[in-house]
Amino acid sequence: METTRVEKMCGGEGHVLIKHILNEEQLNGKCRLYAEVTLEPGCSLGFHEHHGESETYYIISGKGIYSDNGELRIVQAGDMTFTPDGKGHAMTNSGEENLVFMALIILD
């Protein structure tokens, strides 16, 4: 599994760590991403929209503020988010420990 570090992802603060669970070949053209994502304290994934795809987050640990098309809500371990085609979202680590979640982008 390859881990990448992305600075200021989608205009967010700090960096995002992405551990790719499956590679492009294994996703077989059905998904764009299946990964474990880590936001360290003070880091965020900026607001972005999805077109021709949907994205689901499953929160493993930590606490965050999730923007669902601008509507904010607190998320924590065990919570799930869903962003359908044509909508947008963002995530901010609002806690003092790493915010870790699984991200799955399914192509429409």
DSSP of 31-80: EEEEEEEEE-TT-EEEEEE-SSEEEEEEEEESEEEEEETTEEEEEETT-E
Residue span of the structural domain in which 80 resides = 2-107
SS3 label, residue 23? coil
Q: Which pTM value belongs to this model?
A: 0.95
The confidence score (pLDDT) of residue 104 equals: 98
pLDDT per residue over 47-92, tens digit each? 999 999 999 999 999 999 999 999 999 999 999 999 999 999 999 9
SS3 88: strand
- CATH code for the domain of 84: 2.60.120.10
- CB neighbours of 28 closer than 8 A, spacing ≥ 6? none
pLDDT of 1 over the 90 cut? no
User: What backbone phi and psi angles, to 5 degrees, belong to 80?
Assistant: -135, 145
Q: What is the distance, to the nearest Å, from the Cα of residue 101 to the centroid of all Cα atoms in its chain?
A: 7
Count of the separate structural domains present in the chain: 1
Q: Is the dihedral of CA 107, 12, 82, 25 positive or negative?
A: positive
